[in-house]
Amino acid sequence: GPQNEQQRAVVEAFQHAWSAYCKYAWGHDELKPISHGWQEWMGVGLTIVDSLDTMWIMGLKDEFRAGRDWVAANLTFDKDSEAQLFEIVIRELGGLMSAYHLTQDKIFLLKAVKLADRLMPCFGGNTAIPCRMVNLRTGRTHFQDISTAESGTLQLEFRSLGRATDDKYEKAVEAVSDHLHRLKKTDGLVPTFLSGTSGQFRSSSTVSFGASADSYYEYLIKQWIQTGKKNVWMRDDYLESIEGMKKHLLKHTKPSNLAFVGSMFSPNARSVRNEMEHLTCFLPGTLALGHMAGVDPGDHLELAKQLTKTCYEMYRRMPTGLSPEVAQMNTDPHATEDLRVLHGTDYNLQRPETVESIFYLYRATKDPMYRDWGWKIFEAFEKYTRVEEGYASIDSVQRTATGYRDKMETFYLAETLKYLYLLFSDDDNLLPLDKWVFNTEAHPLPVYSR
């Protein structure tokens, strides 16, 4: 449970979100906080399953028990609906496996097996690339083009299930990893999309550490950690990708020399788009995690500090104190402002990536500055995204009188509030990073010896 004022505030925020969900959307995927209703995405109680480990970690026993009882009595995957493989794996399978490993309650493992069995048809295509969509009832799959992140962000969850039950789950995702490893890359950098028919990279795809690529890189180092640092090629692919990022995508703003990671239109492009996606703000945390795990040639922690500062500045410099989805970065020597925001990318979805990196940087350095940054971001979320019933995304971070979007993202409970709670913990033994590895939805899974 909470140990200090900051943690108590974060727990209260979670309870505010959870009580609204229970009141208006219980058993459904997502709360509509403005119209006081609910909406389905895959029909599998996403908010409940995504929140289980957050409630356990926060010591919310009554709330956790209610979620656990719903899973036991009501959660079924016999749904005649299309599920996006990546999303249901990171949120639902990851949530169930994390709850199982934290509590040893077999009901979560039983449900995880039932879900995974309905997802296994995704690994039966003509190439090693998995399907993107699957009908949970019929097993009908769609092997259309799929993002590199979607293909490379299944392994932590299926491996965790495989180690607890049957190694067929781990073998299925290892085949995907092996295929991605063997594909030709540009200094370790990957295009954002793969062909569903050939299994090859689409040569015209963007190269970035943002949307559609981000968690592919994240899972390289995390798989190496999860497998007891035995799978050396994952570590090497990760290190090569960071060197490629430094060579091709790392730039600095004017006038303040803020480091940022841009994107290229294709692997052979000669120019970089001078922008920083909020999604890319996972990267400094991953660099810090690698540093703590012993993978740092000497400059990764310093680069992590610089990029975290940039991500924080994307919050601090906005009127609301909240980051836009994308910031345009100025590199002109005559620029007077380091960043600006274009209409259409100025919304905020309460994403976790910046507070995630702040958490890792605090664990790596113990510098109280990171707690100060996290608290300011939390206060901005409270001021501008909290509504009478739950929390809502906002249309623009550039106006203090902003409009709301009628949706409470499950990752606000699963990730953003969890990382804030962990940031303010005075106990490093609360999920130590040599024993647990977080999936891309912030679900902690155990580290194995091999």
Q: Give the residue numbers of the binding site for Ca(2+).
A: 440
d(CA 219, CA 188): 14
Placement of tokens 């905020």 in the chain: 348
Query: What residues form the annotated binding site?
Result: 440
Query: Per the structure block, which two tokens stand in for 172?
Result: 């299925």
d(CA 151, CA 131): 9
Those residues whose C-beta lies under 8 Å from the C-beta of residue 178, and which sit 6 or more positions away, are 128
| Closest residue by Cα to residue 119 from 67, 73, 83 | 83
- Cα-flanking dihedrals φ and ψ of residue 202, to 5°? -80, 115
Q: Helices 94-103 and 106-119, interaxial angle, to 10°?
A: 160
**DSSP 8-state code for residue 136:** T
d(CA 215, CA 150): 8
DSSP-derived secondary structure for 223-269: HHHHTTT--HHHHHHHHHHHHHHHHHTEEE-TTT--EEE-BBSSTT-
What three-state secondary structure class fits 147?
Answer: strand
What three-state secondary structure class fits 344?
Answer: coil
d(CA 359, CA 2): 16
CA 138 to mean position of chain CA atoms: 29
Neighbouring-strand partners of residue 328: 275, 340
Placement of tokens 């113990």 in the chain: 366
Which amino acids are annotated catalytic? 87, 214, 325, 353
d(CA 168, CA 116): 10
Those residues whose C-beta lies under 8 Å from the C-beta of residue 91, and which sit 6 or more positions away, are 46, 49, 50, 410, 411, 414, 441
Query: Per the structure block, which two tokens stand in for 364?
Result: 């790596």
324-359 residues labelled b (16+ CB within 10 A) or e (exposed): bbbbbbbeeeeeeebbebeeebbbbbbbbbbbbbbb
